[in-house]
């Protein structure tokens, strides 16, 4: 695939604490404990899950809802963890709607290992992608190139503000992720 220049991505590539990418490393386990939600692009949190802006978005606002529990199988999550994950997905849809006013959404999981298409196949996560009528353009079709129309930092700020404005946002006044108590 051809590449378009994206200088804002260098911060991700050169970030501190770069791990030896051994088989035990999981960014979805490491990022929530990193201490800087804005730098990690964690937009919202709940007791058992968090919302992470996708580093390689299909569209502006593309996020992942991820349980803290490291597993690739929904059957390994408790009922409380499953409900929390589902409720945070619902809040995510509301925040994306408020922030970006899309015409619809795609949401789905890559489950069952690398054959399912996920680059991180041992920690389940739900992709939520805002969509607009006519948003697919000619670039991927004729040149195998994706066009990102908004910088990740701008998407993060816009979406974080939308999460902070939702009912049930407990802590949305600082620079970190917005927290929800979903019980």
**What is the full DSSP assignment across 7-62?**
GGGHHHHT-TTPPP--TT--HHHHGGGSS-HHHHTEEEE-SSEEEEE-SS-SSTT-
pLDDT at 113: 67
Give the separation between CA 120 and CA 79, rounded to whole angstroms: 23
Residue pLDDT, tens place only, 76-110: 999 999 999 999 999 999 999 999 999 999 999 87
Q: Tell me if 4 is assigned to some domain.
A: no
Q: Tell me if 14 is assigned to some domain.
A: no
Residues of the chain with pLDDT under 70: 1-23, 112-118, 136-149, 172-175, 183
Q: Tell me if 19 is assigned to some domain.
A: no
Q: Tell me if 167 is assigned to some domain.
A: yes
Q: Tell me if 111 is assigned to some domain.
A: yes
pLDDT at 46: 96
pLDDT at 56: 81
CATH at residue 94: 3.30.428.10
> Number of folded domains in the chain?
1
3-class secondary-structure state, position 148:
coil
Tell me if residue 125 is catalytic.
Answer: yes
Environment class of 117 (CB within 10 Å of its CB; exposed 0-12, middle 13-18, buried 19+): exposed
Q: Tell me if 42 is assigned to some domain.
A: yes
Please name which of 67, 53, 74 lies closest in space to residue 11, comparing C-alpha atoms: 53
* Domain that residue 166 falls in: 24-180
pLDDT at 112: 64
**Strands, sheet with 126-131, edge to edge from the N-terminal-most edge strand:** 104-109, 126-131, 63-67, 49-53, 42-45, 178-180, 169-171
Q: Which two tokens stand for residue 92?
A: 């995510």
Which residue is catalytic, options 62, 85, 125, 158?
125
Q: Report CA-CA distances (Å) from 112 to 71, 72, 108, 177.
A: 11, 7, 13, 29
Q: Tell me if 15 is assigned to some domain.
A: no
Tokens 């670039």 sit on residue: 139
Enter the pTM of the model: 0.77
pLDDT at 21: 53
Please say whether the beta carbons of 105 and 131 come within 8 A.
yes
Q: Tell me if 5 is assigned to some domain.
A: no
């Amino acid at each position: 695939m051809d590449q378009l220049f994206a200088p804002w991505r260098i911060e991700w590539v050169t970030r501190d604490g770069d791990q030896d990418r051994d088989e035990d490393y999981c960014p979805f386990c490491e990022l929530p404990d990193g201490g800087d939600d804005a730098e990690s692009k964690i937009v919202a949190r709940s007791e058992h899950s968090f919302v992470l802006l996708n580093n390689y978005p299909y569209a502006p606002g593309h996020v992942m809802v991820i349980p803290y529990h490291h597993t690739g199988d929904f059957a390994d999550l408790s009922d409380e963890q499953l409900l929390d994950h589902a409720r945070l997905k619902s809040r995510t849809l509301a925040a994306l709607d408020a922030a970006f006013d899309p015409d619809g959404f795609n949401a789905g999981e890559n489950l069952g290992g690398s054959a399912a298409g996920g680059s991180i196949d041992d920690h389940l996560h739900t992709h939520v992608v805002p969509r607009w009528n006519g948003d697919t353009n000619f670039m991927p079709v004729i040149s195998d190139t994706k066009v990102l129309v908004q910088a990740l930092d701008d998407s993060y700020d816009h979406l974080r503000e939308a999460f902070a404005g939702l009912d049930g946002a407990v802590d949305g006044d600082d620079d970190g992720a917005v927290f929800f108590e979903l019980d």
